[in-house]
A and B are shown apart, each in its own frame.
Chain A
C-alpha cells in the first residue's frame, strides 16, 4: 500500500543539464541518461554524506525519526540520528537486507519508495507489511534525479510483542533486548510523517542546490586559479586585458617584465602609454582598438615603448572579448620580437647582397663574354660575306657552322642575363602597339638558316586582319625564336614548324601558337617543360643544346605581358606551344583621358597633326623624328600620342587624344606648331592641326558609351577620316 505526498518539487530551469528532457516514468532510461550527462565525480560530490549529515541529523533529531541518504539506485550512502536503537540493532545485525531498504523490517519484498519518489518527483510514503511507515523524497536538479532521502521510524506505535519476537527471530537478535529498546521509542503518527516528508523534500532539494552551487563555485575558483597561474607563468609574453575604452584591467608578470610597469601602477591607465609618441599622434592605438572591435581581432607589428622609454619591436595581438555582442573589453598579447626582426633584417640584407653580387657577377661575366664573342662574330661574318675575297665551298660551310655556334653562344649569354633579371625581378617588358604579321615574317626569316639545316619548312598561318597587339617587340621576337628553335630541334627532318594566330579564350587577348611535327611531349613532361633548366630529352634527337632556359624565360616574359603559355601535345603527334598576348586596345591606352568625368565636361579632343613638306614627300626617317618631337610636346599622363595604327608605310598624320576643351586646344596647337617650326627652322614643314570634339555624344557617360567613343576614335584614325573631313 502506498500513499503519495505532495507537493512535487518543481524542476528549476536555470540548473545545468536542465535541457535534458526525460520521461519521468522511464526510470531505467532516466538513470542511463543521467549517468551520461553527470560525471561520477560530480554525483559523488553532490551526495557526499559528510556534507549532508549535519542537516539530516538535525532534521532527524527534531522530527524524532531516522534519516538515510540514498543514490538514485536506492543504495544507502549514509544514515544518521539513530534515535531508534532498535533500528540500529537490527540494521547492524542484518547480514543481507532483502528489501534493500533499512526501514522495511519485516518484508523481503523490495522497497519501491525511492524508485517511486524519483519517478513521480514527489514524496512517497510507504507502509510495509508489518505496518511500518517511512517516507522517501527525491533529490532533483532540474530534470535530473540524483538520489533520495528516506525518513521514518522502525515502529510507529507501541511495540507489538508478537511482531518484536518475529523481528528478533528473523534478524537473530535478543527479543528481550529488542523489547527494552522498543519500549523507549516514542511514536510518530502517519500524518506527522507525511507533513515532515514535504518539509524534508523542500529542505533536501534546497540543500542539494546549495551544494551544487558551492561545487560549481569551487570548480570555477580552481579554474580561475589555474588560469591565473598559467597567465602569471607566461614570462616572455605580456598578457593583459583592457576595458572597451582601452584602460588596462589586468596585467601579468610577463607584461611587468616586458613593458616595465607593475600591475598597481598600470591598471586603470590607458594602454596608449606603450606606444611611441608618433603613433599616439597618428591615433594608432585608437585605430587598432577599432579594428579589433570591428573584426574581432587585430594583429600588428611595430615599435612599442617600455616604462623606461626603451623601444622594442613588438608583435601585438588584440582580441575583442565579447559577451552577447556587447564588447566587454580586449585581451592583448604582446611579444618582443626585436631579436627575430634583427635576424630577419640581417638575413634579408644578406639575401639582397647575395642577389646583388650574383647579378653583378653574371652581368660582368656576360659583359666579358660578349667582347671576345663580338670579335669572333665580326671576323667570321667578314670572311663569310667575302670581305677578303671568295671562299671555297668547304671554307664557307665550316665558317657557317662557326657562325651558328657563335649565335648559339650569344643567345645563351642573353639567357644568362635574363635569368638573373628574373631572380632579381628586374626583367621588364616595354609594351607598344605592335603588328604581328610583320614581326612573324621577320622572325621566320631569322630562323630560316637554322631550319634549312634539317630541311624543315617554316610556315606562317596568320589570319588577315589579325589585330594589333600590345607587347614588347624584342621580347615577342625572343619568345617566338625560342619556340621556333625548339620546334626545329624536335621536329623530324623534312617536317614543318608553323606559326599561327587565333583569338584567345580570354577576351582582349590573342593566342599565338608554334606547332611542330616532332615526337611530341609526354604528359608528365608537359608539366615541367617550362621549369628552369628542364630539358626534355627527345628520343629522336638526343642532342642537348642551349642552357634549357628558353622556355622558362619565355614563360616569364609571357606572364610579364599578362598572358599565359602552355603546350598541347601527344607523344608521336608533335607539339603545339601556345601563348597569349594582350590585344592593343585604344580604350585601354586612353583610359585616363576617356573618363566619364572628362567626356561629360566636354574636355576630350582628338587632335590630328598632318605634316606635309612643301616640296616632295616627307621621308619616313623624318616622320620618326617628328613623332619624337610630338612625344615631347604632349603632356605626359594627360594626353596620348596614338601609335601609328597602320601596317602601311608611315603617313604624315599623327593623332593625339588630348584632355582639353576648345580653348585648351588652341594652346596645344600653337605649342605643336612652335615645336615643329623649331625642329624645322627652314619652315619647310607645313603642319596642319585640327581637332574634333564631335565624337562626343551628349552625356551621361557609362562604360558602354566610353567604349563607343574609343571605338569611334579608332575608326576615325584607322580610316584617316579625320584628315579628310576636316572636323573643327
Chain B
C-alpha cells in the first residue's frame, strides 16, 4: 500500500514543522499550506488522502476552505480533521456539520489525534474497499 498523503493547512510555521516531523516519522507523506487560497490549489494539485485544517487562516477562514472542498468533486471525498485553538463549544458542531470528520482543540492529545488520523484514513480505505467489492 502506498503511503498516505496528508495536507496540513496552518499558518503557524512551528506547528507545521513539528507536526510534519511527527507524521513523517509515522511514514506519512506530508505537504503543507499556510493560507486558505494556496490550500485549495495545493489540495487540487496533490489530492491528499487527508487534510488537517486550522480555522484561523490568512486570506480566508478554515470554514471557507471546508466549504470549497465540499464543492469541488475532486476534493469532496477527502476527509478533513479540524485542528484549531478555537473554542470547541462554538466550533465543533459547525465544523462537523460542514463536513469535517473530527474536531481537535489545540494542543491535541497526541495519542487521540494520531488515532483519529488513522481512523480517518482507515475509514476511507474501509468504505472504499467495501464499496468497491
Q: A375-B12, A375-B14, A682-B131 are in contact. Are A417 and B107 (CB under 8 A)?
A: no
Q: Which of A133-141, A153-161, A205-213, A377-385 contacts B (4 or more CB under 8 A)?
A: A377-385
How long is the Cα–Cα vector from A406 to B106 in the complex, in angstroms?
Answer: 12
Bound: A633/B123 CA distance, A: 22
Chain B interface residue count, Cβ-Cβ cutoff 8 angstroms: 26
Q: Is the C-beta of B1 less than 8 angstroms from some C-beta in chain A?
A: no
| Structural contact, B105 and A370, CB atoms closer than 8 A | yes
Q: Beyond A375-B14, A375-B15, A684-B133, is A370–B22 a contact (Cβ under 8 Å)?
A: no
Using Cβ atoms and an 8 Å threshold, which residues of chain A touch B123? 621
What residues of chain A lie closer than 8 Å to B110, measured between beta carbons? Answer: 378, 381, 385
When C-beta atoms are compared, the residue in chain B nearest to A375 turns out to be B14
A458 to B86, CA, bound (A): 33
Complex alpha-carbon distance, A684 and B131, angstroms: 8
CA of A371 to CA of B89, assembled, Å: 18
- Asked if A373 lies at the interface with its beta carbon under 8 angstroms from chain B, I say yes
**How distant is A129 from chain B, measured CB to nearest CB, in Å?**
111
Bits for B99-133, please: 1 = Cβ < 8 Å to A, else 0.
00000011110100000000100110011001101
Given A374-B106, A374-B107, A621-B126, does the pair A367, B85 have CB atoms closer than 8 Å?
yes
Q: Is the interface of A mostly helix, strand, loop or mixed?
A: helix
The verdict on A375 contacting B18 (CB below 8 Å), with A619-B126, A621-B126, A682-B131 known, is yes
What is the bound-complex CA distance between A7 and B85, given in angstroms? 106
Q: Nearest Cβ distance between residue A263 and chain B, in whole angstroms?
A: 60
Which of chain A's residues has its CB closest to B25's CB? A387
CA distance A367 to B12 in the complex (A): 13
Q: How far is the CB of B111 from chain A (nearest CB, A)?
A: 10
* Interface presence of B71 (CB below 8 A): no
Q: Closest CB of chain A to B26's CB: distance in Å? A: 9
Q: CB distance B107 to A378 under 8 Å?
A: yes
Is A615 an interface residue, CB under 8 A from the partner? yes
- A378–B89 CB distance below 8 A: no
State A625–B108 Cα separation when bound (angstroms).
Answer: 23
- With beta carbons under 8 angstroms apart, the residue of B56, B106, B130 that contacts A373 is B106
A421 within 8 A of B: yes
Known: A379-B18, A615-B133, A621-B122. A371 touches B106 (CB 8 A): yes
Chain A positions within 8 Å of B12 at CB level: 371, 374-375
Tell me which of B87, B106, B119 contacts A621 (CB under 8 A): B119
Asked if A4 is at the interface of the complex by the 8 Å CB criterion, the answer is: no
Q: A382-B21, A622-B126 are in contact. Are A371 and B85 (CB under 8 A)?
A: yes
How far, in Å, is B15 (CB) from chain A's closest CB? 5
A341-372 vs B: 1/0 string, CB under 8 Å? 00000000000000000000001001110111
- Given A363-B87, A681-B131; A371-B25 close (CB under 8 Å): no
Q: Is A426 an interface residue (CB 8 A)?
A: yes
In the assembled complex, the Cα of A387 lies from the Cα of B30 at a distance in Å of 15
Pairwise interchain contact B85-A370, C-beta atoms closer than 8 A:
yes
Is A421's CB under 8 angstroms from B106's CB? Answer: no
Closest to B26 in A: A387
A19 within 8 A of B: no
Contact status of A417 and B119, CB under 8 A, knowing A374-B106, A375-B14, A382-B22: no
Beta-carbon contact of A622 and B127 below 8 Å:
yes
Whether A378 pairs with B122 at a CB distance below 8 angstroms is: no
Docked pose: A619 CA to B107 CA in angstroms: 30
The answer to whether A378 touches B18, judged by C-beta atoms less than 8 angstroms apart, is yes
B77 at the interface (CB under 8 A from A): no
Decide: B130 and A370 in contact? CB cutoff 8 A: no
**Which chain B residues border A372 with CB–CB below 8 Å?**
14
B19 interface residue, CB < 8 Å from A? Answer: yes
- Most A Cβ at <10 Å: residue of B89, B106, B127: B106
Give the interface of B toward A (CB within 8 A). Answer: 12, 14-15, 18-19, 21-22, 25, 56, 85-87, 89, 105-108, 110, 119, 122-123, 126-127, 130-131, 133
| Selected A-B contacts with CB under 8 Å, 25 pairs | A363-B87, A367-B56, A367-B85, A368-B85, A370-B106, A371-B85, A371-B106, A374-B15, A375-B12, A375-B14, A375-B18, A378-B15, A378-B110, A379-B18, A382-B22, A382-B25, A385-B22, A387-B21, A387-B22, A421-B89, A621-B119, A622-B126, A625-B127, A682-B130, A684-B131
Q: Which 3 A-B pairs have the closest CB atoms?
A: A378-B18, A370-B85, A375-B14
Besides A374-B107, A387-B25, A621-B123, 4 new A-B residue pairs in contact (Cβ under 8 A), listed by A number: A371-B85, A371-B106, A410-B107, A684-B131
